[in-house]
Chain A
Amino acid sequence: MNIYKRFPTLKQLAPVYSIVVVVIYSWSLLRFFWRLPSLLNYSTAGQIGVVLSYLITINLLESLSVVFVPVILSLILPQKWFSERFVTKSVLLVLLGLGYAIFIASHINTEEPFPYVLFQWAPLVFLLIFVLVLLLDRIPFLTRILEDLSDRFVVFLFISVPASVISLIVVLVRNIF
């Protein structure tokens, strides 16, 4: 079978990417606004904008790497397992995966020594997530919710994509010229 046919279309990718964007960018923006009062004490608006640009550029790279995972899965797994219901399965996969990332990140921020155990459990957690994703077909109610959710979240791409492009340009311009 032609591998290109299994490559998700832009229409399929957009809702998945929007979920990734909302989670990753929100986490960072939350931190950013938490730091903002301190930044305002000593930075100009331009300097704050540059800090935000670097942050959003990193978010862009992170979100693209995350969305790459379901794309790869759809290419390598049997069509019935994943790519036939690409949107819902991918949304569940990234939601659970990012949820685990948030769990780890919040522990890193508060725990000492470093919580290695969370990383050690990661393969098992991802296996569990994968099994849940494969079983999604048996839970139509959840499928419907995920479809609706991702469909509504696409609107955030209209903000995040231009913001990311502008940020990327800012970072490139500052480091080229």
Chain B
Amino acid sequence: MSKISRRSFLKMVGSAAPAILFPKASSWARDNLRQPDASKPNVVILLFDAMSARNLSVYGYPRSTTPNLERFAERALVYHSHRSGGNFTIPGTASLLTGTYPWTHRAINHRGMVKQDMVENNIFRAVGKEYHRLALPQNVWANLITSQFANDIDTLLSPSTYGEMDYLNDDLFPKDVNMATRALDDFTFKEYEQASLIFGPLLSALYFRDAARLSKDGYPRGLPNNENYPLYFRLEDLFDGLSSLVPGLSSPSFAYIHLYPPHAPYRATSRFYRKFIDNFRPVKKPVHRFSGHTSNTRLASARRSYDEYIASIDWEIGNLFDTFEKEGVFENSYVIITADHGEMFERGQVAHTTSLLYEPVMHIPLLISVPGQKTRRDVYAPTNAVDVLPTVAQLTGNPMPEWAEGHLLPGLGGVEDYERSTFTVEAKKVSAFAPLGKATVAMQKGTHKLIYYTGYESEDTFELYDLESDPEELEDLHPAQPAIAKKLKEELLDTFLDVNKPYMKQ
């Protein structure tokens, strides 16, 4: 046993006394007065709402939609088989921020919420207080999820930051952002169907008057805006804002930036407007019985607008990355590019409000630039949005939380596991407090993908695809390959039963 000198003993007593006498103050000081470790890398997540990997040239799309992301990919880890947790903002965002699948976090409905006993299980807490944690949820629906974690966020910016108008009330209630947003912006003063009889119409009149006065210069289809809320923005303002925000972050910082574009309405800049009037013809696919039965002409037109909007965004991304390069952001930061869900223009279905889980709606981009990385690395093993949280925790020097359902991403501490099963879940029509009686689940394992539809028709149905030989999901192998189908069905149904168990009545 080592000897303790008198001086060491007195030091020990001196430092222990405050901790014994004032235990709370001592833990507060430990948490709050700790010097930030500037040598730790920053982590910046740039999430693009409704950005499908299937429409990005960096993932092989024939139209040149993302030359700047291609440039970025040359110095990044490029994940080719990355899927979202859900197929719209609420479950997709919640899966990324909680590291769990929708059937666990239960934010499955439009305007849904992460269940109360899981709110502390979030990426901001996993990163820890040593980091300055900033969130900018530009999509109000993303804000409905992100602001649930406000206690673990040091700077929570309003969706109207870098916008053209500010008619949201969320920043008036900084201590109760989540419920204030839900009660006021999403209900009492909502653009349509307001619950307020006097102030609501007055606010609407002012909002619509101001919106009509906004200059639409440079946007032939109108200014980009948030579909359901009084928010307009210009891409150049948004990205200019990010150009000063991100390089200005103190070290170490964790920034979650959830950008509304390229979510509908697709408003390309004049530089890219009508850029894709070309001979490109997507693969023809049969109309699905659960689709919205949108005509092929409308699908083609929406796809073109979407592609042009993505090209406009990519142009701004290029400028942003030039600034990052100049300011040395890539040298001290992990820069993560991803999406919350995709978008589809096929089988009679436009956008993502659907019960279908085909690749365009769940195959999302994931590109990660490691500090100082100069070369490209491609990862083909299946990964999922739930993997981001454990990986970010690891990158920021924290243990992988035990409640996280994801794995470490290959290339960042994880291994390429082709036999792993990942899931995407759609269940917006059922209660978050009940078993998923009406849902679509897509399970990917190896090269196979099994889609399970339950509760829509009198009998449950399955579809099976081999994504390697049939990436467009044209040939349903379910009837033709019973052995593979049986094995995958057993695993999916067992998992489905397990996740539903806590919600079943005894």
Contacts and interface: CB of A to CB of B under 8 A. Distances in A.
Interface stretch (B78-86, B178-186, B255-263): B178-186
B204 A62 contact: no
B277 interface: no
A27 interface: yes
A31 B193 contact: yes
A123 to B, nearest CB: 14
9 contacts: A31-B193, A41-B109, A42-B432, A51-B183, A55-B187, A58-B188, A62-B199, A105-B194, A113-B208
Contact of B201 (A23, A101, A176, A177): A101
Given A42-B431, A42-B432, A114-B204, A101 B197 contact: yes
A98 interface: yes
B107 interface: yes
A102 B197 contact: yes
A163 interface: no
A108 B198 contact: no
A44 B178 CA distance: 14
A9 interface: no
Given A42-B431, A42-B432, A58-B188, A28 B197 contact: yes
Interface string B431-457: 110000000000000000000000000
Secondary structure of the A side of the interface?
A: helix
A2 interface: no
- Centre residue among B116, B180, B196 by max chain A CB count within 10 A: B196
Contacts of A176: 175
B322 interface: no
Contacts of A23: 197
Contacts of B205: 114, 116, 119
Interface in B213-231: none
A109 B79 CA distance: 44
B173 interface: yes
Interface in A88-143: 98, 101-102, 104-105, 108-109, 113-114, 116, 119
Interface in A136-177: 171, 174-177
Q: Is the interface of B mostly helix, strand, loop or mixed?
A: loop
Interface of A: 23-24, 27-28, 31-32, 35, 38, 40-44, 47, 50-51, 53-55, 58-59, 61-62, 65-66, 98, 101-102, 104-105, 108-109, 113-114, 116, 119, 171, 174-177
B197 A27 contact: yes
A108 B183 contact: no
Contacts of A47: 113, 179, 182
A54 B197 contact: no
B195 interface: yes
Contacts of A61: 199
B200 interface: yes
B112 interface: yes
Given A109-B192, A174-B176, A175-B176, A104 B182 contact: no
A174 B431 CA distance: 27
A51 B194 contact: no
Contacts of A50: 179, 183
Most buried by A among B107, B193, B200, B430: B200
Given A31-B195, A116-B205, A105 B188 contact: no
Contacts of B193: 31, 109
B198 A24 contact: yes
